[in-house]
Structure 1
Amino acid sequence: MSHPPKNTAELLERCYLIAGLTLGQVAEQYQLQLPANLQREKGSVGQLLELVLGASSGSKAQPDFPHLGIELKTIPVDRHGKPLESTYVCVAPLTDLAGLSWQESWVCRKLSAVLFVPVLAERSIPLAQRQIGTAFLWKPDTEQQALLQQDWEELMELIVLGGIDQIKGAHGKVLQLRPKAANSKALTSAVGAEGQPIQTLPRGFYLKASFTAALLAQQFGT
């Protein structure tokens, strides 16, 4: 396993060294085991890259590279460089929300600096043969920050006002809220339409695929 990179330049250098390699080649190089498939171990590609690049936060509530303030996100893409799905950001808080502001939110902190690693991940390609693309560091510009904040504030307002069950994936321009649970039995507390406590599926914030597609196009001119 790699030690944490000393600085951003060293982190990007590590990304450069694995760009173009397959997940199988990288796993072999670092003597790591790839799962047979991603049905049960959806986060395993991200975990492999965390180990190889020296991410050190584990599951703590901080960026993956805490000393650099950088979050790591893989983007599964097709052979045309288009994202195949939305990008998970973090779990959404559903209770004790009084006074929570965008600047203090976990979403804002997570997205202040992100290392995006595209991975060619069409279903027809076996996991070990999926290729790692060129990583890039992204920080939201003023316009992107404003869009993220607006979506977050609108979604959080719906949660606070007991409208969690009305929120669909189509809500939000760049950020969406979706159920995030291993199964339908994993329930958590939230506020109901009448202000009463209810049990519902945990929710997660995701960057919409159209938003990450625009970031990839901006970066690679596709």
Structure 2
Amino acid sequence: MKGTKYTTKELLLERAKEAIGIPLKDIDITGRLATGKGAIGTMIEECWFGYTPNSESEPDFPEAGVELKVIPYISGKAGIRAKERLVCNIIDYNEEYKKTFKASSFWHKCQTMLLMVYENIKNQSKGDFMISNALLFSAPDEDLAVIEHDWQIIMDKIRAGRAHEISEGDTMYLAACTKGATAEKSFRTQPFSDIKAKQRAYSLKQSYVSEILRRYVFGIEENEHIIKSVDDLHRTSFEELVINKLKPYYGKSRDQLKAELGIHSTAKNQNELILAGMLGIKGRIANTAEFKKAGIVPKTIHIEPNGAIKESMSFPTFDFIKLSMEDTWEESELYNYLAPTKFLFVIFRKNAAGGSTFAGAQFWNIPAADLDEVKTVWEKTVHIIREGVQLTSTRRGICNNLPKKTDNPVAHVRPHAKDSNDTLPLPDGRRMTKQCFWLNNSYIRKFIKEQ
């Protein structure tokens, strides 16, 4: 490919910073902003740096060894967060597994990235957005150890002939996201199986990109660490390190744990306090550096004396109108929450006397095949809301025709509200009790491993 005039990292960063504060419409001399998704990044490449976007195998600025990424962020009540994952290059299943991490296409392309960031402001024209900062980024050693392990997990699935089972939730920071997954032509051959796999690209998870922004762009101090030494991550995975920290507490009652860890609270968050204590954390486990970067969600699972799980797993309440306007499964809020999320199940077994014992912990993410089952529930839900939900009065209250637990082995829809007056508007103007997607309790039970 033809090179660019930006042959050093210093020249690139200097040029990038010159764009700060200029409305994008004043940079866009080609009308690229009107072309749709990805237009801002392409426009910056063409109009600001003066080069045509290159092939995926080389970084954008090959002489400098730098890849350009233009990143939108959102500022709200919850603080700063990246608007989306950072997508890198397509994974060639038939070639990538032959390489080492340092020889991989991901490392070759994205070892050093020039990040140009802008705030995506609701109801504001793209042309009025402005680059607010620019920096060169290379993952620090503690993150790089996790990213390399993530890469190895993806390669292990390819080598096992299971590229079709790859899921974003398999990994921590570096993921393999679907790329053009809705088109039949986007399915690719894999070397150790005749089953075609969805085309996927390396990507840095939205949660990880959010932490890059908070720490390196906005100077927000990184939170408490679970892993105290990067050397630990060179010996084993983060998941194994966490489980090994928890194992000495297996089999102890809740009262024993509270006494041993000096916890006196009887509030609803006492399980969270117990987990933090077992891991040597003072604050919330969900706010630790590693959990925030990986977007890991801790979930307490209660096993009844008869071995069943009483509660299904809920997700955030959805907006009926917003849900009805979602175009594709891969761009839906549910997919972009569930697909990349890794859960830490903290398992307590209840006894007949009313107490409970810490029965174990495990990391879990939804398998690719089961994610397809959730897709069918999402599609049916969107269709029903668009067509008009059927509301029927019964002795038990108002019923609807959204997907029920008996309709699907993996997921369903049901209320998630304070009471019957806690409602949201439907597209047709009626109101209905707030609803959310749930993973069936019987489905989750299949994955729970007690120690």
Q: Give yes or no for the alignment of 1:22 onto 2:23.
A: yes
Against the structure 1 CA distance between its residues 204 and 122, is the aligned structure 2 distance closer, same or farther, given a 3 Å change threshold?
A: farther
1:50 counterpart residue number: 45
Match of 2:136 in 1: 137
Q: Is the 8 A contact 2:59 2:110 kept in 1?
A: no
* Aligned 8 A contact 1:148 1:174 in 2: yes
| Aligned mate of 2:193, from 189, 193, 196 | 196
Instruction: Check 1:25–1:157 CA distance in 2 against 1; reply closer, same or farther (3 A cut).
Output: same
Structure 2 residue aligned with 1:82: 81
1:95, 1:189 within 8 Å by CA — same for their partners in 2?
no
Task: Give the letter aligned to residue 11 of structure 1.
Answer: L
Show the counterpart of 2:360.
none
Mapped partners of 1:197, 1:9: distance in 2: 47
> Separation in 2 of the partners of 1:149 and 1:137?
20
For 2:67, the aligned partner's letter is E
Q: Using the alignment, how far apart are the partners of 1:81 and 1:117 within structure 2?
A: 15
Show the counterpart of 1:34: 32
Q: What amino acid maps onto 1:137 in structure 2?
A: L
Q: CA RMSD in A?
A: 2.2
Deviation at 1:168, TM superposition (A): 2.1
Counterpart amino acid of 2:199? P
**Structure 2 residue matching 1:199: 3-state secondary structure:** strand
Work out the CA distance in 1 between the residues paired with 2:96 and 2:17.
41
Task: Report whether the alignment pairs 1:147 with 2:146.
Answer: yes
Identity %, equivalent residues: 23
Q: 1:46 to 1:166 in 2, by over 3 A?
A: same
Distance of 1:44 and 1:115 partners within structure 2: 17
Tell me, in whole angstroms, the C-alpha distance in 1 between the residues paired with 2:165 and 2:98: 23
SS in 2 for 1:82: strand
Residue 72 (1) aligns with residue 41 (2)? no
Indicate the residue corresponding to 1:215 in structure 2. Answer: 212
What is residue 390 of structure 2 aligned with on the other side? none
Tell me the alpha carbon deviations over residues 37-72 of structure 1, each in whole angstroms, 9 at most, x when there is no partner.
Answer: 62xxx2221111112124566225211111101110
SS in 1 for 2:18: helix
8 A contact 2:90–2:201 mirrored in 1? yes
1:6 Cα deviation from its structure 2 partner: 4.2
- Between 3-12 and 63-72, the greater mean CA deviation after superposition: 3-12
Moved more, 161-170 or 111-120: 161-170
Secondary structure at 2:101's aligned position in 1?
A: coil
Letter in 2 for 1:34: R
- Are the equivalent residues in 1 in contact too, given 2:187–2:199 (CA < 8 A)? yes
Offset of residue 119 of structure 1: 2.0
Query: 1:122–1:170: structure 2 CA closer, same or farther, 3 Å change rule?
Result: farther
C-alpha distance in 2 between matches for 1:22 and 1:182: 34
Q: Is the 8 A contact 1:91 1:202 kept in 2?
A: yes
* 1:7–1:153 distance in 2 versus 1, CA, 3 Å: same
**Larger proportion of helix:** 2
C-alpha deviations, 1:124-146, integer Å up to 9, x for none? Answer: 32221222121100122222221
> How far apart are 1:205 and its partner, in Å?
1.1
Q: Deviations over 1:137-162 (max 9, x none)?
A: 01222222211110000011112212
The verdict on how the C-alpha distance between 1:215 and 1:56 changes in structure 2, with shifts beyond 3 A counting, is same
**1:105 alignment partner AA:** S
Q: In the alignment, is the contact (CA less than 8 A) between 2:33 and 2:43 conserved in 1?
A: no
Partners of 2:35 and 2:43 in 1: how far apart?
A: 14
1:83-162 alignment runs, 5 A limit: 83-97=82-96, 99-162=98-161
Between the aligned partners of 2:181 and 2:130, the Cα distance in structure 1 is 27
Which residue does the alignment assign to 1:12? 13
Contact 1:4–1:54 (8 Å) recurs in 2: no
**Structure 1 residues 35 and 138: CA distance shift in structure 2, 3 A:** closer
Unaligned ranges ≥5, structure 2: 221-451
Asked if the contact 2:73–2:117 (Cα under 8 Å) also holds between the matched residues in 1, the reply is yes
| Distance in 2, Cα, partners of 1:54 & 1:145 | 32
Gaps of at least 5 residues in structure 1 are none
2:31 alignment partner AA: Q
Distance 2:35 2:97 in 1: 41
Higher relative contact order (Cα pairs below 8 Å, separated by 6+ residues): 1
Q: Are 1:172 and 2:168 matched, yes or no?
A: no
Deviates more, 1:151-160 or 1:96-105: 96-105
More moved, 3-12 vs 167-176? 3-12
- State the structure with more CA Rg: 2
The amino acid across from 2:72 in the alignment is P
Matched position secondary structure for 1:78: strand
